[in-house]
Structure 1
Amino acid sequence: MSLRLTLSIAAVLALPPHLVYAQTASQPMPATAVEPAAGASASAADLALRALYEREWAWRQQEFAREKIDGRWQASSRLPSVAPDDWERRAAYWTQVLEALDAIDPAQLSPAERVNAAVFRAMVEADHSAATWRTWEAPFNSDSFFWSYFNPNQPYAREADWDRLLGRLRDLPGYFDQQIANMERGLERGWSVPRASIEGRDRTLEPYTRTDAGNPFLATFDAIPASVPEPRRSQLREEGRRLVLERLVPAYTTLLAFLREEYLPRTRTTIAASELPEGRAFYRSQIREYVTRDMDPREIHAIGLAEVERISAEMREVMARAGFEGSFEEFLQFLRTDPQFYARSSRELLANASYVAKKVDGQLKHAFNILPRYRFTIIPVPDDIAPIYTSGRGGLDACLFNTYDLPSRPLYNLPALVVHECAPGHSFQAALALEAPARPDFRQQTYFSGYGEGWGLYTEWLGTSMGIYETPYEDFGRLTFEMWRAARLVIDTGLHEYGWSREQAIDYLASHTALARHDVVTEVDRYISWPGQALSYYLGYRTLRDLRAEAERELGPRFDQRPFHDTVLALGSVPLPVLESEVRAFIAAQKAAPAP
C-alpha cells in the first residue's frame, strides 16, 4: 500500500519525513526508459524537458527538506513548512511548470524522454491538484497521520542519522502548530475528515504524551547501538531524552487536546466526498490521480459489480474443493472462528510469514530473469499504530505484519499478503528499483498507485503458479483478497457517488469476503476518508492481467513470463496508459525478433 499516487509534495505533507522516506524506499522506482547512448545528441525538446524536471526537482527538495544521502533522497535535519502561504506559492510554481511542459512538443522527444515527460506531468498535476484543492487542510485520514512515524522502526547505525533525527524533532512543535492552524481553516470551510472514519485515531498519540519508558521516543534513544561510539552515544541519548521530555511531550499533548476538544467534535458527520465543497468534481480528480485515467465513477461501479460476481463463483468452487457442505455464509463464519486458522502468538504469525517468504525465494527464478540482491526483514507493526493499522505493508528494508488482535489475523490470508507486500511484491519491486540503472532523480520518488498496487495484486494471482497456496483455505484466502479489491470498486464509488452509508459498505464487504470484522471496519473507514485511492488496486491489476493475456495471445508458444515480468518491473512506476504502451512495444519487439 501507498499513500498517494505520487510520493511527492502531497505525500510529504500527509506524513512526516521519516515515513515519507520509508514509503519512498518501499515503492518501485523506474528502470526501463534507457538514457541516450554516450555521444548521442539530444534534441532541443529533450534538453528543454530535462532542464525543466531537473529544476523542479531541485526546488522540490529544498521545499520539502530532503537531501541525497548515500545515493538516496532522504529526510534532512529539518521539517518542511506547511503554512497556507507555502501551499499557495507551491501551487503557483506548479502552474508555471505545467505551462512550460505544455510548450514542449512530445513528438520531438526521444522515447526515453517521452516516458519521463508522461511521468513528470502526472506527478506535477497530482501535486498541483492537491495544493489547489487545499487537501492540506485535512492532513490525515483513518490510515495515515501526519503525527506518526517520526520515530524510526529500527535504531540508526550511524551518528549522522541520529543528528538528522534530532534536527527534525526540534522542528516538530512548530510543524504541529502549522498543521493545527491548517485543520482550523479546513473546519471553517467545511473541509474535514469524516468523523465516523477516524473515531479512536487520537489514541495513537497517547504513548507520545508519556514521560516514562512507555514513550516510544525514549525507548528509541535508549537503544542507540554500539556502532555509535562513546562518548557520543551517551550524549545523543541524553540530548534526545531532554528534547522528548521538554518539547515533544508538550507538543503531542497539545495536539491530542486539540483533536479531542476541538477537531473531532467539529468534523463533518457526512461521509461522501460529494458532500465536500465542489465534492463531485473533487472525487473525479481523485479518481484521475489514483487510477491515472479519466473514468466515470458509475463505469467503475459497474466493473466492480461484474468482477464481484465472477470471483464469487470461484470462491464457491474452492469452498466445494475444501469439502465444506454448508452455505457460503456458514463457510465464512467457520473461517472466522475456527482456532486452526489463527496463530496463538505473535511469533507464530511472523514465523508463518517468514516460511511463505522463503518458499517464494525458491520460485522466483522461474518467474523472473533479474533478481535483486537487497534483502528485507520481517517485523511486527509498531504497537502505537497497530490497533488501527492494516494487516501488512511492505518496503525496501522490511515487511511489517500486524500481530495486534490475533483472532483478527487469519493464517489462510497470510500467503497472499506475503507475496503482495514482500516478494515478488513491494519489497521485491523496491530492491530492483534500488539496483536499477540510473534514471532522473524525480523518477526515483514517483509512485503511481495503479502501477504499484496493481503489481502487488497481480503477484497474488501469480502465486497460484508458484505453488504458494498449499490448501483450499489458502486459495480461498487469495480469492478473499482479490474479492476485497474488486469490492472496493463497488464500495468506494458507492460511498462517494451513490451515497451509501457506512454500515451499508461494511455489510457489503463482510458478506463477500472472509476478512475479519476488525479488518472490514478498518478498510471501510479508509475508503471513507481517502476517496479514490482504493480504486487503483483492482484497475491496475486488471490492466496487468489484460496485458499478459495480450502477450500470450500475440506471442503464442514463444511467450515467456520471465522477460514479460522483467519488462514491467524495469519500466518502474508509471501511469497505466504508459504501462500499456511500453508493454505493447515489448510485445511487438518480441514478435518481430527471429525465432530462437
Structure 2
Amino acid sequence: MTLKPALLAATARALLLSACAATTSTAAPVAAPPAPPAAPAAPQAQAAEQLHALFKAADEDNLRRNPLSALFRGDMRYADQLGDYFTDAYYAAERGAAEKELGELAAIDRAALSPTDQIAYDVFKWQDSLQLRGNSPDILALTAVRPIDHFYGFHTFYPDLASGEGAAPFKTVKDYEDNIKRHHQYAVLLDRAIGRFREGMASGVVQPKLVVRNVIDQLDLQLAQGVEGSTFYAPVKSFPADIPAADQQRLRAETAAVIRDEIRPAYVRLKEFLKNEYLPVAREGVGLVHMKSGPELYTFLIEQNTTLPLSADYVHNLGLSEVARIRGEMEAIKEKVGFKGTLAEFFHYLSTDRKFQPPSKEWLRDGYYAIGKRVDARVGEYFSTLPKTPLEIRPVPDYREKTDAAGSYNSGTPDGSRPGVFYYNTYDLPSRFTWGMETLYLHEAAPGHHFQISLAQENEALPNFMRFGGNTAYVEGWALYAETLWDEFGMETDPYQRFGGLNDEMLRAMRLVVDSGIHAKGWTRDQAIQYMLDNSSMGKTDATAEVERYIAIPGQALAYKIGQLKILELRARAEKALGPKFDLREFHAQVLDTGALPLTVLEKKIDDWIAAKKG
C-alpha cells in the first residue's frame, strides 16, 4: 500500500508545510458613539491573535508559492498556474518563508496560549524547521539535482491531475482553459528537470540506473498513447452539457495542439536525454550509501519521515525484531489451518494456489465493495465522528499500474465535491491474492487513510496547516494502526484473512530492514527482493515494486511501522492508566481531532489527556 496524495515530492512538501487559520473582524456601526479606550488584551487572547494571524498569512503566502496546494483544496484562485518548481527562486522563496515565519513564531509567548493552540504552535514550528532544513543548500545539493524518479515524478503525478478524474475540475470553460495553461507550463517544467539533472551530473550526485530506466519506461508508455489516446486528451472527449458546442470544438483543438506540439516533444527530449546522456553516468549502486553525501542525506530522511531522530542501525534492528515476532504468529496460523510443511512452503501455497487468486477484475471490485459495506456497518461503534467526504473504490489507471502499489488512496476535498478514492491494482491479477483484501481496505479506506485525512480536512476549527498538512509517520502510522482494528470490526475471522493482516504487517516490518539495508548497509536490489520473498508470501511482482519504491524514495517506508508502534504504545499506556475510564472512541478522537501530528507532539497530547481523565 501507499498513500498517494497525488503530489510529487516538492508539491507534497508544500502541502505538508502549508499553514493558515481563518480570522474574522466586524466593523463598528457608523453611527456608534466613540468607544472608551479598549482594555489591554489578556495575554492569552493576544498571543492567540498573533498566532492565528501568522497561520493565516503563512498559508496565503504558501498557496501563492504552491498553487497546486490550493487546487487540491478546491481553491481555484491560482488554478491556471502549475508552480515555479525546480527553480532557484522557488527554493529561495521556500527557505525565506520558513525563516520569516519561525522568527515571527518565536516572538509569540507559547506559555500564554491555550492547550490546543500550543499544539498548533509546536506543529507549525516542527514543520517550518523541517522545511528550512530541507531547503538548505546542503540538502538541495543532494535532492534538487535529482528532480524526478519513477515514484515521485511530475510525469507520474501530473497526468492524474489533468485526466478528468483527478483534483482538477472540468465543469466550466474556464476549467478547461486553466488546464491548457497548466499544460504549457508542464512542458517547460520537464525541460527544467533536464537542467537540474545536468547539475547533478556535474556535481556527481545522480540517480541509480534502475530509477532512470524505470522513468524511461514510464515516458515510453505515455508516448505510446498518441494524442487522442493520451490521458491528457481524456477531458475533452466529453463535456458538460452547458458548455457551448463552439467552445467544445475550440478546447478540443487547443488541447490536442498542446499535447502534440509541447507535451509530447518535451517527453521525447527528456527521454532522449535520460537514455543517451544521463543513464551512462547514473550510478550502479541503488542505495544512498553509494551516492556522494548519501549517508548524511539518509540520516536527514529518517528524521523527516519518522519525525524522530533515529539512527539507521536502530531502525534496522527494530525491523529484525518485528520480523521475528510476526513470523511466530504466521507459524501459528499455518498450524491452525492444518498445513503440513514449512513456513516457506506455506507462503508458496498461498501465493500459487488458484483458490487465492481473483477470478476476474470484476470479482476483485465486487469483493472490495462487500468489504466496505461490512466496515460501514460497525465503524460507528469505535469512532464518534465519521467523515462527510464520500469514498469511491476504483482500479489503478492502466498507464501506471505496472509500477504502482497493490493499493493506494487519493484524498477528496473538504466540501465533498471530490470524493476520496481507494485504488486497487489489477495488474498481474494472479498476484492480487484474495487473503490480502480485508487488511488492505482497513488501511487505505476506512478507518485508515480516508478517515484520518478526511476528518482533518473537514475540521474547520483547525488552522489549515493542520487540516491539510501532515507527516508520513502519523499518516501512515495511523493507517497501519487501523489494520490492527480487525478484531473490533469483526474482520479477518477467516484464518487466511488474518494471515493477510500479518502479511501486511510483515511488509511494514520488513521495510525497516530493507530500506535501511539498501541505503545504509549496501544491500542490492536482488538481495532486498529475496529478503522480502523469504519472510512473506508476497509475489515477486509486488516485492519488486516495493523494493524499487524504496530505492526511489529513501526513508519514506520507515514511517509506517514507527508510527504504528507509537500509536499502539499510546493506546496501551492509556488503557493501563485509565482502566474502566478508557473509551476507545474517545481515544480515537484524541488521536484524530487535531490532524497529523509529529509523534512527539502526539505523545504529549495523549499524556495530557490521560492526566486530565485521571483527575
Query: So what's the TM-score if we normalise by structure 1?
Result: 0.90
1:101 equivalent to 2:105? Answer yes
Report if aligned partners of 1:201, 1:388 keep a CA contact under 8 Å in 2: no
Tell me the SS of whatever aligns to 1:534.
helix
Alignment partner for residue 399 of structure 1, among 407, 410, 422? 422
Q: What SS is found at the alignment partner of 1:531?
A: coil
1:362-412 CA deviation, whole Å, 9 max, x = no partner?
110111111122211111111111110111111332111111111221111
Matched, 1:158 2:181: no
* Distance (Å, rounded) in 2 between the aligned partners of 1:315 and 1:527: 25
Answer whether contact 2:8 2:153 (CA < 8 A) is retained.
Answer: no
Relative distance call for 1:3 and 1:115 in structure 2 (3 A) is farther
2:257 to 228, 232, 242: 242
Q: What are the residue-to-residue correspondences of 1:109-124 with 2, within 5 Å?
A: 109-124=113-128
| Separation (CA, whole Å) in 2 of partners of 1:244 and 1:336 | 42
Task: After TM superposition, list the pairs within 5 Å mapping 1:552-591 onto structure 2.
Answer: 552-591=575-614
Q: In the alignment, what sits opposite 1:17?
A: none
Q: CA separation in 2, counterparts of 1:366 and 1:52? A: 39
The structural deviation recorded for 1:330 is 0.6
Match of 1:500 in 2: 523
Other-structure match for 2:282: 267
Give distance in 2, aligned partners of 1:96 and 1:201. Answer: 37
What does residue range 10-159 of structure 1 map to in structure 2 within 5 Å? 11-12=10-11, 42-66=44-68, 68=70, 72-73=74-75, 76-81=79-84, 82-132=86-136, 133-134=139-140, 135-151=143-159, 152-155=162-165, 156-159=169-172
Structure 1 residue 541 displacement after superposition: 0.2
Deviation at 1:274, TM superposition (A): 3.0
Q: How many residues align?
A: 578
* 1:106-148: CA deviation from partner (whole Å, max 9, x where unpaired): 3343322221222212222232222221112212234221112
The 5 Å alignment of 1:522-561 reads 522-561=545-584
The aligned amino acid for 1:12 is T
CA-based RMSD: 2.9
Identity of aligned pairs, percent? 31
Which residue of 200, 211, 215 maps to 1:186?
A: 200
Measured in 2, the distance between the counterparts of 1:102 and 1:264 equals 46
Contact 2:477 2:567 in 1 (8 A): yes
User: Which residue identity is paired with 2:181?
Assistant: G
Closer/same/farther in 2, CA of residues 557 and 218 from structure 1, 3 Å limit: same
Q: Which of 365, 389, 394 is residue 350 of structure 1 equivalent to?
A: 365
The answer to whether 1:477 aligns with 2:500 is: yes
Question: How big is the shift at 1:212?
Answer: 4.4
* 1:372–1:432 CA contact under 8 A, matched in 2: yes
Residues in 1 aligned to 2:122 and 2:465: alpha-carbon distance in whole angstroms: 12
Q: Secondary structure at the match of 1:571?
A: coil
State the distance in 2 between where 1:131 and 1:71 align: 24
| Letter of the structure 2 residue corresponding to residue 121 of structure 1 | K
Q: Aligned partners of 1:308 and 1:378: how far apart in 2? A: 31
In 2: Cα distance, 1:109 partner to 1:120 partner: 14
Paired amino acid for 2:154: F
Equivalent residue for 1:341, pick from 356, 375, 389:
356
- The residue aligned with 2:467 is 444
1-structure distance, mates of 2:45, 2:567? 33
Looking at structure 2, the residues matched to 34 and 250 of structure 1 have their Cα atoms a distance apart, in angstroms, of: 44
Kept in 1: contact 2:23–2:53 (CA 8 A): no
Superposition deviation, residue 42 in structure 1: 4.1
Contact 1:28 1:433 in 2 (8 A): no
Segments of 4+ in structure 1 off by > 6 A? 27-31, 33-36, 38-41
CA distance in 2, matches of 1:88, 1:34: 27
Letter of the 2:81 partner, please give it: R
Are the structure 2 counterparts of residues 165 and 157 from structure 1 closer, same or farther at C-alpha, using a change threshold of 3 Å? Answer: closer
Q: Secondary structure at the match of 1:377?
A: strand
| Closer/same/farther in 2, CA of residues 479 and 215 from structure 1, 3 Å limit | same
> Equivalent residue of 1:393, what SS?
strand
Residues 338 and 34 (structure 1 numbering): CA distance in 2 closer, same or farther, change over 3 Å? farther
Q: Deviations over 1:185-227 (max 9, x none)?
A: 1222122222234533322222433434432222332133436
Cα 1:541/1:71, change in 2 over 3 Å? closer
Larger RCO: 1 or 2 (CA < 8 Å, sep 6+): 1
Q: CA deviation at 1:149?
A: 2.9
Q: Deviations over 1:478-510 (max 9, x none)?
A: 101101101111112222222222222111111
**In structure 2, what residue type is equivalent to 1:475?**
R
Once residues 70 and 130 of structure 1 are traced to their aligned partners in structure 2, the CA distance between those partners, rounded to angstroms, is 23
SS in 1 for 2:58: helix
Separation in 1 of the partners of 2:217 and 2:112?
A: 54
Q: Which runs of 5+ in 1 are unaligned?
A: 15-19
CA 1:507–1:361 in structure 2 vs 1: closer, same or farther (change >3 Å)? Answer: same
Structure 2 Cα separation of the partners of residues 363 and 509 of structure 1: 34
Structure 2 portions without partners, runs of 5+: 27-40, 413-419
Q: Note if contact 1:91-1:128 (Cα within 8 Å) is conserved in structure 2.
A: yes
C-alpha change, 1:71 and 1:207, in structure 2 (3 Å) is: closer
Asked which structure has the greater CA Rg, the reply is: 2
CA contact (8 A) 2:407 2:425 kept: yes
After superposition, the Cα gap between the structure-2 partners of 1:12 and 1:453, relative to the gap in structure 1 and judged at 3 Å, is same
Q: How does 1:403-442 map to 2 (within 5 A)?
A: 403-442=426-465
2:31 paired residue number: none
Q: Determine if the alignment matches structure 1 residue 203 to structure 2 residue 217.
A: yes
